[in-house]
C-alpha cells in the first residue's frame, strides 16, 4: 500500500479481554459450520485480523463488507472481486438496513450448499446453520447481530470494544450465531494500518493524539479525493496544496475555532466518520493488485 508522508505517533491497542477472546474463539471454532468475517468496507484489508486465518483455518467463510454505504462503491466492487479470488463468498452491506438479514442468510446457504447436499446423501438431515461472527472492534458487529436476530440482544455502543462476553443467538429456524467480542491483533506490523483504524474510529480516541490522525486524514483526502476538503470547509481548491499542518490551521479557522486545533481535529474526525466528506475507501484495491503483481514477479 502507498504510504502518505508525515511523522505520526505509534498506535497499539490490545486489551486483556481480547487475548482471552482469541483463545475462546480457537476453542469454539469446531462447533460452527462457517464463519462470517466482518470488515469495514472503507478499509477491507486493514480491518482484517491476520490472526483469524490461523484460528479459522479451513472453515468456510463469508466476508461481510459492512458500512458499504460509507465506502467508495467502485473500490468496494474491486475488493469483493479480490476476496472472491481467494475463494470466499462476499457481501457488501449496511448492518442498519432491514434487507441485510435475508442477504446474509442467502450467502450462508450458498456457501454451505455443497456440504449440505453431501450430508443429505449420507442421511444427515439439515439443521440450523451454526455460524460465528468475527471482526475487530467497531466494524458494526453488534449492530449486525441485532439486525439478524431482530431485536436488541447484543450490546452495542459507539465506542469500540463494548461487547465482552460470548452468547448464542438464534435467527429464525435457519441460523444460529455465536457472538464473540471484537479482536484486535497485538501489534500492527504496519503503522499505517493503525492510522487507518484510528481515522475510522476502530481505536478508542482516548488512546490517540487526535491532531496526528486528523493530519493523516487531511493528507489522505487531498491525495485521493481532491476538492472535498475545500468543498466541505469553504476553502479555495489551491489551499489543498498547502503543507498539511497549514491546511489544518486553515480548516480550524473556517470552523470558527481560531487556534483550537485539538477541537478542530476532533470535529474533523467525527465528520469523516459520519460520511460528511463523502464516501471514501482508505485501502486502495488497485494498490493491492499492484503489490500482488510485484510479489509474483519477485
Listed in sequence order, the residues at least 6 apart from 151 whose beta carbon sits closer than 8 Å to its beta carbon are none
Residue 136, Cβ neighbours under 10 Å: how many?
Answer: 24
Which residue do the cell numbers 497499539 mark?
12
Nearest-angstrom CA–CA distance, 202 and 181: 13
In the numeric block, which cell numbers belong to residue 35? 464463519
Residue 264 labelled as part of a binding site: no
Phi/psi at 29 (nearest 5 deg)? -60, -30
Query: Angle formed by the axes of helices 100-111 and 141-149, to 10°?
Result: 90
Residue 7 labelled as part of a binding site: no
**Do the beta carbons of residue 236 and residue 243 sit within 8 Å?**
no
Residue 68 labelled as part of a binding site: yes
Residue 2 labelled as part of a binding site: no
Residue 108: CA atoms inside 13 Å, Cβ hemisphere, count?
25
Listed in sequence order, the residues at least 6 apart from 210 whose beta carbon sits closer than 8 Å to its beta carbon are 262, 265, 266, 269
Question: Given CA atoms 84, 45, 91, 79 in this order, what sign does their dihedral have?
Answer: negative
Residue 151 labelled as part of a binding site: no
Strand, helix or coil at 172?
A: coil
Strand, helix or coil at 173?
A: coil
Residue 142 labelled as part of a binding site: yes
Nearest-angstrom CA–CA distance, 75 and 243: 27
**Do the beta carbons of residue 285 and residue 79 sit within 8 Å?**
yes
Residue 69 labelled as part of a binding site: yes
Residue 67 labelled as part of a binding site: yes
Residue 94 labelled as part of a binding site: no
Binding-site annotation: residue ranges for GTP: 66-69, 138-143, 182
Q: Which residues contribute to the annotated binding site? A: 66-69, 138-143, 182
Amino acid at each position: 500500500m502507498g504510504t502518505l508522508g508525515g511523522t505520526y505517533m505509534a498506535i497499539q491497542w490490545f486489551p486483556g479481554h481480547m487475548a482471552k477472546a482469541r483463545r475462546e474463539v480457537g476453542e469454539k471454532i469446531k462447533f460452527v459450520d462457517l464463519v462470517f468475517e466482518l470488515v469495514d468496507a472503507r478499509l477491507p484489508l486493514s480491518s482484517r485480523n491476520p490472526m483469524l486465518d490461523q484460528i479459522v483455518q479451513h472453515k468456510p467463510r463469508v466476508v461481510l463488507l459492512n458500512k458499504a454505504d460509507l465506502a467508495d462503491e467502485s473500490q468496494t466492487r474491486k475488493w469483493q472481486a479480490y476476496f472472491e479470488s481467494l475463494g470466499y463468498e462476499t457481501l457488501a452491506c449496511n448492518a442498519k438496513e432491514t434487507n441485510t438479514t435475508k442477504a446474509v442468510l442467502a450467502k450462508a446457504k450458498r456457501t454451505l450448499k455443497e456440504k449440505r447436499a453431501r450430508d443429505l446423501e449420507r442421511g444427515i438431515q439439515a439443521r440450523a446453520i451454526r455460524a460465528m461472527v468475527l471482526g475487530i472492534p467497531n466494524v458494526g458487529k453488534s449492530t449486525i447481530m441485532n439486525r439478524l436476530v431482530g431485536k436488541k440482544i447484543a450490546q452495542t455502543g459507539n465506542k469500540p470494544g463494548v461487547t465482552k462476553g460470548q452468547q448464542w443467538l438464534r435467527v429464525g429456524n435457519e441460523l444460529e450465531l455465536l457472538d464473540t467480542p471484537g479482536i484486535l491483533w497485538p501489534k500492527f506490523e504496519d503503522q499505517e494500518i493503525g492510522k487507518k483504524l484510528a481515522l475510522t474510529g476502530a481505536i478508542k480516541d482516548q488512546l490517540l493524539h487526535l491532531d496526528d490522525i486528523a493530519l493523516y486524514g487531511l493528507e489522505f483526502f487531498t491525495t485521493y479525493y481532491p476538492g472535498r476538503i475545500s468543498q466541505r470547509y469553504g476553502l479555495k481548491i489551491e489551499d489543498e496544496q498547502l503543507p498539511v499542518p497549514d491546511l489544518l490551521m486553515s480548516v480550524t479557522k473556517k470552523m470558527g475555532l481560531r487556534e483550537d486545533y485539538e477541537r478542530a481535529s476532533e470535529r474533523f474526525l467525527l465528520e469523516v466518520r459520519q460520511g460528511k466528506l463523502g464516501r471514501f475507501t482508505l485501502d486502495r484495491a488497485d494498490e493491492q493488485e499492484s503489490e500482488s503483481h510485484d510479489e509474483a514477479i519477485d
